[in-house]
Structure formats: C-alpha cells, structure tokens
Structure 1
Amino acid sequence: MENLKLNNKNLAVIAERITTPTYKRNDLKTGIVHVGIGGFHRAHEAFYTDQLLHEESSKDWGICGVALLDFDTKIYNTLKEQDGLYTLIIKELDGSYTKQVIGAIVEYLFAPENPKQVIEKMASEEVKIITLTITEGGYNYNEATKQFDFTNPDIIHDLENSEAPKTIFGYLTQALQLRKERSLKGITIQSCDNIQGNGHMAKKMLLSYVAKAAPSLVSWIESNVSFPNAMVDRITPVTSPEDITYLKENTGIEDAWPVVCEPFKQWVIEDDFIAGRPAWEKVGAQFVEDVVPYEKMKLSLLNAGHSVLGLLGALVGYNAIDEAVNNPNIRTFLNNYMDVEVTPTLGDLEGINLHDYKHSLLERFGNINIKDQIDRICSETSAKFPIFILPTINSQLEDKGSIQMAALVTAAWAIYSIGVDENGNSLAIKDALKITLQSKAIEAQTKPATFLEIDSVFGDLNTNNTFVKAYTEAYQDIVNKGVEACVIALNNKYAKSKA
C-alpha cells in the first residue's frame, strides 16, 4: 500500500481507504474564526461542523483556525502543509478504531507572524462567530480579586501596542473596533472552554479590558455582540508518536498530527447567536435556554474527576488516567467523592440520571485505548482547581457537608507540586504558577497550610479552620502512610457510614 501525505491533492485516493469530506471545501465561506486550534477543538467543534457540512448544503460555516501563540507554531505549520486536513481517530470502548478525515478548517492563520491579518479576518463581514479554546488560564481571571488581571505583562503589552497584540483580548478589541467603524452587523463570541458560565466569563473579561483599552467600544459590544454559555465534553488526549505510526501502518496515510479521542461527545449551548449559527443540533448538539446545570455537573464531576485521578495517580506513580481509575481503591475513592461531596452541590438536573452519568464517567476514564497522560491532566492545575474543585469545597463548607476527600486531593496537589512521586521519580510540573507552586510546596513540608496561601487559586480558603484542619491532617497522612493507604482509610470510613 502506497503511503500518501494528507493533503487536498491526495484526498481522492485517501477516500478509498477511510472516510473523507464529501462536500466541496473550496466552495465554503469562512463563517467561523476559531482561536486555539489544538486537539480538543479539532475533536469537538470542528468535528461537529464537519458532520454538519456532510448533512446540509449550507456553505457559510467553514472554519478559519487561528494559532494565537508562538507555542502554536507546530500545529499551524502542520495544518498549512496539509491544507487544513487532519485525521480524527476515535478509540472505541471495544478496542476498535474509527478513522476519518476532517475538512471543516479551510483557512489557518498564525497570529504572531501577521497580527493584522488575524484582526482583519475577525472583522470580515462573512464571519458570524468567533469561537475560543484558550484554556482556563487564558481568560486572565484572578480568583482572589474576581477581576481581570491588569498586571499580566502580555496585557500591559497589548494596552501599549494595540496593533500588534499578544492576547485574545487585544485581538478581539481591534477586530470589534473595525466592525463598529465599518457599520457591520453584530457577531457572536462563543467560548468552548471548561469554565462554568464560560460565555459570561468571556464577556466580563473582554469588557474589563475594553473599558481601559477602548472605552467608547463598550456600549457597541453590549448591543452588538452575544456571548452564549456552552458545556463541552470529549476526552482528547495528546497525540502520541504511536498514534501517528498506527495511522501510517494501517492506512498508509502520513498525517503529521492526527487527533485521537473517545467516542463520547457532548455539546450543550445556549441559543443566543446574534448573527446566525450552524444547525449543530442536526448532528447531536443540544441547544437550551440555560446551560448552567449541565456545565456545573460536567465541571464538578468529569473535569474534577480527571484532576482527582491525575493528582492521586501521579503520586502513586501511574502515567495514564486509565491506570489510576482501574486501581480499585482509587476508583472507589473517586466514586465516593462524586457521591458524597459533589452530588449534594448540584441541585435538580432535569432530564439527567446522575447515577448513570457518574457510572459512564468511570467507564470513560477506564478506556485503556485512550491512554490520557496524567501529566496532561495535571498541567495548569492552578487554573483548573478554582473552577473544578474549589466550588464544591466552598459549597460543602457552607452546608457543613463532607470535605475530607477534597482535602485529601488538595493535599496530594501540594505534595505533587514538590516535583517527586512516592517512588522518588521526578514529576514534570507544567503550570503558569510553577515557581509559586513549588516554593509554597517546599514551605508546606514544614507547615502544610502554607500551600493554601496562594490566594489567586484558593481565595480565602486558608482562613477556613474546618478545611485547614482537614487538609493538614490529610497532608500529614499522605506523608506518613502514602496516598493509597489514605484512600483506603477514607473508603472504609464511608463504607461504615453507609452500613
């Protein structure tokens, strides 16, 4: 079987081997600009859009992918060389692989190379939606102050260099200013990040920046830009060299950066699109009036569950999430955490069977074909913890509920941040607050509660005596007994309480 590079020229032959786009990509208009064209976007929004382009004749919803950061050079070059095409490899629960080429990304821009080109594209009349996957930390939100962080050096740069911005806020401000000056219709800015109220967050942070950078633009944005909230879900691990080799050996397709993901997918969106939208509901998306209950459920159970498995598993010495959840003691601990500490905070979820949902999460985490790397899950925990775990802790403290399991996870993170697992192996700490985390983690070895003093992560949690006591005891227990013994002890305590 002849090896073929993935590109437009070879697409007809590749179509004889795996599923490829049947729509005419050259006829598509760019109706969506997406910032952050990493694996998740390509397994989620771009996948939904590709499926829709197969379903209907609309030519208005091609995607222009924007690589925002210098770090994104590789993905930009890959998409450029492959004409925006990439292979999606869905790793099914039964061990089989479903493979298809996705063609929804029809343009691709590298912001650091040509900021003006990106701004002009965002300001283009044919663009109706700007979507974002910029990670939790990309919203520049300070958990302690609950406000936009104007001390960020990149924000300071953007305020002083408006035509050559570095952050999403600088780009959006310039693009929206052009749309206003050109008397263009409104536009939707849609976050696809794991943040509760992600649309509200995007609006609040953007308006905070605009109020200082271009005050006269604020009222125009409030009248002409919509920010729908959305809940997104699909486990998308980092593509490994083995994934690339598998694709080449089994199909003869040379794809420099395929995307791998689980079969499950979910997208719940508030139907608030000021300039029109794709009919994503035709391919499985769900449009609702209020997305809050769904996203709180997902952030508090799935995303927090990932962090629980990642932090505990990392200290034990596991490399992948499935290894952690398939440890029966850790699996039981996670199940108990979801039942005892998270579920009481969720309230009524109409149309959702929480028991079934939680069971499905354990199955998804345990998919041995996904091999979601623990260091990916643990990366940027300082941005994730305030969103995934802290709300559960605060809610349980307010209601005088259990916080012992969350305290154990927090203590595990403090010990993880030292950078060594229980076997003496080094852990790669990948976090914007790495220096602060490691400094506080080292101090915590003599005074555990010191770690809770990172107010941008924990807010005022270090002033709550109930949590500090539970956290300090958990920290000392992990040091003295190890993670798994602590997990077993809490599991036994919960089992006795049910008896």
Structure 2
Amino acid sequence: MKRINNDLLASVDSSAIQLPQYDRAGVKPGIVHLGIGAFHRAHQAFYTEAVLNQFGGDWGIIGCSLRSASVKTQLAEQDGLYTLVERGPEGEKFQIMGAVQQVVVGPEDPAALVAIMANPQTQIVSLTVTEKGYCHDPATGNLNLSHPDIQHDLGNLNAPKSAIGYIVAALLARKESGQSSFTVLSCDNLPNNGEVLEKVVLQFAKQVSAELCEWVSAHTKFPSTMIDRIVPATTDSDRADLEAKVGYRDEGMVVAEPFTQWVIEDKFCSARPQWEQVGALLVEDVTAFEKMKLRLLNGSHSMLAYAGYLAGFETISDVMTEPAFVALCKKFMDTEAGPTVKTPDGFDIEDYKKQLRDRFANPGLKHRTWQIAMDGSQKIPQRLLETLREQLASGGSIEVISLAIAAWFKYVSAVDDAGNAIDVQDPLAARLKSLCDSHPNTSERVAALLGVKEVFGEDLVGCSAFAAAISAWLDAFAKQGVLATIKQSFSA
C-alpha cells in the first residue's frame, strides 16, 4: 500500500477526505513548534491548517522533536502530510493536514535547530513539551537549576537539550544579530503557562547574562493559552483501520475527538495567524477558562486515570461504563472542583460538566488510563492540589481529591491490586517507589510522600485532615481493592 505524500495527494478522494486548499509549495514557515507529538498535530496545527485553507499566508510549521526521531520517521516519507481522524458518537471524519512542512530532531543537530528558530522568518515558537519539559519545580514555578538538562545547557548553549535552552539560545542569536524577537507560545497544561514559561526563560537567560535577560524581558512576549482536545495515542490498529478505509498508508496519522477549544491571550510581539477567524478565542485574560479546564477536565481525567487503572480499566471510556465511576466523577465536579472556579459571563457550567462526562465516555476514543497517568508528579500540583488548597481554606469537601491522591500513591508504589508490576512513567518514579517501599505503614507512607516538596510544597505535609483522608482510602484499597471501594462509596 502506498504512503500518503504530495504525489499521491492528487488521487485522494476529496469527497470523502478533506484536503489542503492551498499551494503547499508556496507557503513559507513562520512557526517553529517544539514537541511535535500527536496533540500538536491534532490541535494547534489543526487551527493553523484552517487559517491556511481560508486565508493563506506564510504560516507553515517546522516541527521539532527534542528526543525521539519517531515523528520525523513517520512524516519524512509523507512530505509532512498526515491524516487527522475525528472520532465521535456519530462516526468518523477524515482530513489530510499540510501545515507541517518539515520535522527536525534536536539531538541530531542542535545548532541547526537553533538557527531555524533564530531565522527572522520565524514569528512564533510554540511548544507542547508536557509539564516536565519546563524543567521547573511545579510547587514554586522556579527553574530547576540542578536539572541535568539545564546544567548541560548552561555549559553548552551552542548545543542545548531542553526546550528552555533552545529558546534562550535562539533569543540570544536574535539579539546578537540585531533581529527582532519572536513570540513564545506555551500550549501545555499549566496554569498561567505563559507566565510560567516566561519566568523559567528569564531565570535561565539571567544565568547567561543580565543583559540578555533584560533584552528578552523587553522584547519577547509569552501569551498564556488554554488548550482542550482529547487526543489518545495512535495505535497500529488505528493505522490499519485507516488504511482499509482510505486506501493509503499513513504512519503519522492522529486520532482526536470532534470537540476542540483554544483560548489565547492576545499578547504577541510579532505577526500571527488569524486563529480567531477559525474558531480560536483571543482574549485579554485566559485565567477563567484555564482554571475551569485544568480543574474540571484535567483534574477529573487524572483521578479517573489512577483509580481506573488500579480498578482494571484500560481506557477512560471503559471507566465511564461503570456507574460508580460516573458518580465519583460527578461528585468531584459538583462538590470539589466546581465550587473553586469562576466561570466567564454567560457560561453554562452545568452543561460544561455534563459535556465533559460525555466526552470521557466517547467510545470512539481509546484513551488509555496508563497514558494519562504518566508524569503525575508534574501534573497533580495544578490539576488537583490548587483545588485542594481552596477547599481546605473554605472548609469545603476534600473527599474525592483525597481518593485521587490515594490512588496516585498506590499507583506510584508500582504494584496494582492483583500484585502485578506497574510501569510507572514519571520523573520522580524511582524516588516515589523507594519512599513507598521503605514505609510499609500506611500513615508513615502518606507522611513521607506528602513530604515530597516538589509536588506538595511546604504546606500540605502538616495537614492532618488531608493525610488522614488519604490514609483511610489507602486502607480501604488494601482491604477490598479500588473497584470495590469505589462501588461501595459512590452510588450512581
């Protein structure tokens, strides 16, 4: 079966598959994106593709992987083309995306990537590198100067490893060549992600020189964004299914739900695509949207992932077939996360919560609990702990949040209810497992894990009510298992 590429594009059935409506050869790159995984290709590239289709412009994307060459391998033979498959309850929709013009791999030639970012043609450097890619302390937001990649980059700025190092190296090159700066656009699930990114970039730049730090601060913009679309990892089964339906092979395809949302702080130092004309929302302040999404969607997602995995469910849609989990999710939204968010004027919060639960239950998406469970030490502070702190301050309920943290504590022990090993993917995995192993007593284990300041800060280790609630859930899990505990405690 032939791979999708420029030559094959002319023979694709445009009545069944949406094709690029512009001359790809005539488009110059204006965006460099760090972290070109499935999410970017289904979200920011989706909006940019819509702009190119409707308005044209030099907004081609150069995608960059800072680790693996897998996406480059997938897309190089396909001339950057790939298929976006939207799966919803009503069926599937296919679109071939052409916005990605090239994929480069940082470690193969770091200086070349810095040069691409430093090219005056680059107006925007965006990134989806996940929370851990910011090399910061999630509890404080400060750059982790002892992080191995940051240590390396400070001594080898001509050949960086981290996203922060690449950004600063490119900004330094722009400054030294007398060029204008570019906008740095975070698209990761972090509260105030633009502010977080600006803080760590300036802290790194200051280590290079005070003059560079001042120049970056004066000339570079870091808009905050809120991004929302469920994009599960693509499987071999997905590729085979697409091939059978469309008649070509696509190694770079991505799968997503129909729903998509992008809220962007309108703060750019250079030109940008007309994203607001194709569905994105440009606003003065993204905080309300961001907090609502992080606490209601992402907080629920993490809770369902840890508890669902331990209960034996492979995907989130599987989890949502169990009425007790649906009730658990609803209670979390209604009594814990919901009361801590202030909704934008005219926004129907009850409809939003129901919509989220319906999205979680979408059987077309096979979003694995194990995938969502990755990097909990980086995600939990913003997804769950800020809600927790507000509930503690107001005397509100912390029942479900405590269950979620207990499930995470059980998960990072790396052994499930059946005694099987869990492949825990987390920057702190070894340390967390060691704390679990060395503290078999429940209350002592809880105290030890709450003492991980990078996650819980300074304030939660001494919160006896929180610790007691976590311990109670862990004891219940040990006695009867996670699934039985949730069924007993939460009825539909």
Q: Deviations over 1:373-431 (max 9, x none)?
A: 11101011111101101111111111111111111111111111122222333322111
- Correspondent of 2:130 among 135, 138, 141: 135
Within a 5 Å distance, the mapping from 1:52-91 to structure 2 comes to: 52-56=51-55, 58-69=56-67, 72-91=68-87
Shift of 1:481: 2.6
**Take 2:71 and 2:343, find their aligned partners in 1: how far apart are those partners?**
41
Partner of 1:36: 35
Match of 1:306 among 301, 313, 320: 301
Between the two proteins, what is the percent identity of the paired residues? 38
| SS of equivalent residue, structure 2 residue 414 | coil
1:316–1:423 Cα contact (<8 Å) kept: no
Which residue of 356, 362, 367 maps to 1:367?
Answer: 362
Superposed CA deviations along residues 47-71 of structure 1, whole A, max 9, x for unmatched, are: 1111111111x322111111111xx
Deviation at 1:165, TM superposition (A): 0.7
Query: 2:307 touches 2:482 (CA, 8 Å); kept in 1?
Result: yes
Distance in 2 of aligned mates of 1:34 and 1:206 = 16
CA contact (8 A) 1:143 1:455 kept: no
- Maintained 8 Å contact 2:137/2:454: yes
Question: Structure 1 stretch 435-444 or stretch 148-157: which is displaced more?
Answer: 435-444
Determine helix, strand or coil for the equivalent of 1:368.
coil
Tell me by how many angstroms 1:436 deviates: 1.1
Q: How does 1:230-269 map to 2 (within 5 A)?
A: 230-269=225-264
1:433, CA displacement in angstroms? 1.1
Aligned to 1:177: 172
Give the distance between the partners of 1:76 and 1:441, measured in 2 at CA. 39
In structure 1, runs of 5+ residues without a counterpart are: none
**Structure 1 residues 358 and 144: alpha-carbon distance in aligned structure 2, compared to 1, 3 A threshold:** closer
Give the corresponding residue for 1:189: 184
Aligned to 1:448: 445
Q: Does 1:11 align with 2:4?
A: no
Q: Deviations over 1:105-139 (max 9, x none)?
A: 11221111111111111111111111010101111
**Match for residue 384 of structure 1?**
379
Match of 2:280 in 1: 285
Alignment counterpart, residue 351 of structure 1, candidates 329, 333, 346:
346
Return the alpha-carbon distance in structure 1 between the equivalents of residues 488 and 404 of structure 2: 14
Aligned 1:140-155 pairs, distance under 5 A: 140-155=135-150
Question: In structure 2, what is the Cα distance between the partners aligned to 1:115 and 1:412?
Answer: 40
1:204 and 1:122 map into 2 onto residues whose CA distance is 20
Conserved 8 A contact 1:414-1:444: no
Q: Is the 8 A contact 1:405 1:490 kept in 2?
A: no
SS state at 2:96 partner: strand
**1:145 Cα offset (Å):** 4.6
Q: 1:271 to 1:145 in 2, by over 3 A?
A: closer
C-alpha RMSD of matched pairs (Å) = 1.4
Partners of 1:173 and 1:288 lie apart in 2 by 27
Query: Are the equivalent residues in 2 in contact too, given 1:444–1:451 (CA < 8 A)?
Result: no
2-side partners of 1:351 and 1:138: how far apart? 35
In 1, the alpha carbon distance for the partners of 2:37 and 2:82 equals: 12
Identify the range of structure 1 (97-106 vs 9-18) with the bigger mean alpha-carbon deviation.
Answer: 9-18
Bigger shift: residues 467-476 or 415-424 = 415-424
The whole-number CA distance in structure 2 between the counterparts of 1:414 and 1:476 is: 12
1:212 aligns with 2:210: no
**After TM superposition, what 4+ stretches of structure 1 lie above 6 angstroms from structure 2?**
none
Q: How does 1:448-487 map to 2 (within 5 A)?
A: 448-449=445-446, 450-460=448-458, 461-487=460-486
* More off after superposition, 30-39 vs 178-187: 178-187
Q: Are 2:410 and 1:415 equivalent residues in the alignment?
A: yes
Quickly say closer, same or farther: Cα 1:368–1:444, change in 2 above 3 A. farther
The one-letter code matched in structure 1 to 2:328 is F
Selected match of 1:156 from 151, 157, 176: 151
**Does the Cα contact within 8 Å between 1:144 and 1:459 map onto a contact in 2?**
yes
1:334-349 residue pairs with structure 2 within 5 A? Answer: 334-349=329-344
Cα 1:132–1:483 shift into 2, 3 Å: same
Once the two structures are TM-superposed, the CA of residue 243 in structure 1 deviates from its matched residue by 0.4
In structure 2, what residue type is equivalent to 1:240? T
**Structure 1 range deviating more: 413-422 or 96-105:** 413-422
Paired residues in the alignment total: 487
The alpha carbon displacement at 1:364 in A equals 0.4
Q: Aligned partners of 2:305 and 2:60: how far apart in 1? A: 36
Given the alignment, which residue of 109, 117, 136 partners 2:104?
Answer: 109
Using the TM superposition, name which of 453-462 and 233-242 deviates more. 453-462
Q: Please say if residues 262 and 370 of structure 1, whose CA atoms lie closer than 8 Å, have aligned partners that are also in contact.
A: yes
Q: Residues 224-253 of structure 1, C-alpha deviation per residue, up to 9 Å, x if partnerless?
A: 111111000000000011100011111111
The CA distance in 1 between the partners of 2:332 and 2:486, in whole Å, is 11
1:455 deviation in Å? 1.4
Give how far 1:453 is off: 1.9
Shift of 1:143: 3.2
Deviations 1:64-121 (A, max 9, x none): 111111xx21111212221111111110222x11111100011221111111111111
What amino acid is the match of 2:217?
Answer: E
Write out per-residue CA displacement over residues 344-371 of structure 1, whole angstroms, 9 at most, x where no aligned residue.
Answer: 1113432321100000011000011101
Q: Conserved in 2, the CA contact under 8 Å of 1:411 and 1:471?
A: yes
* TM-score normalised according to structure 2 size: 0.96
Deviations 1:437-472 (A, max 9, x none): 211222343133122222111113111112111111
Shift of residue 144, structure 1, vs aligned partner: 4.3
Q: Residues of 1 paired with 2:383 and 2:489: CA distance?
A: 21
1-side partners of 2:269 and 2:440: how far apart?
53
Q: Unaligned regions of 5+ residues in structure 2, if any? A: none
SS in 1 for 2:36: coil
1:320 aligns with 2:318: no
Paired AA for residue 117 in structure 2: M
Q: One-letter code of the match for 1:448?
A: R
Report the Cα offset of residue 15 of structure 1.
4.5
Task: Tell me, yes or no, if the aligned pair for 1:27 and 1:59 is still in contact at 8 Å.
Answer: no
Pick which of 308-317 and 142-151 moved more: 142-151
CA contact (8 A) 1:29 1:61 kept: yes
Q: Is 309-318 or 176-185 further displaced after alignment?
A: 176-185
Separation (CA, whole Å) in 1 of partners of 2:85 and 2:109: 32
**1:280-327: CA deviation from partner (whole Å, max 9, x where unpaired):** 111110111110000000000111111111111111111111111221
| Post-superposition offset of 1:142 | 1.0
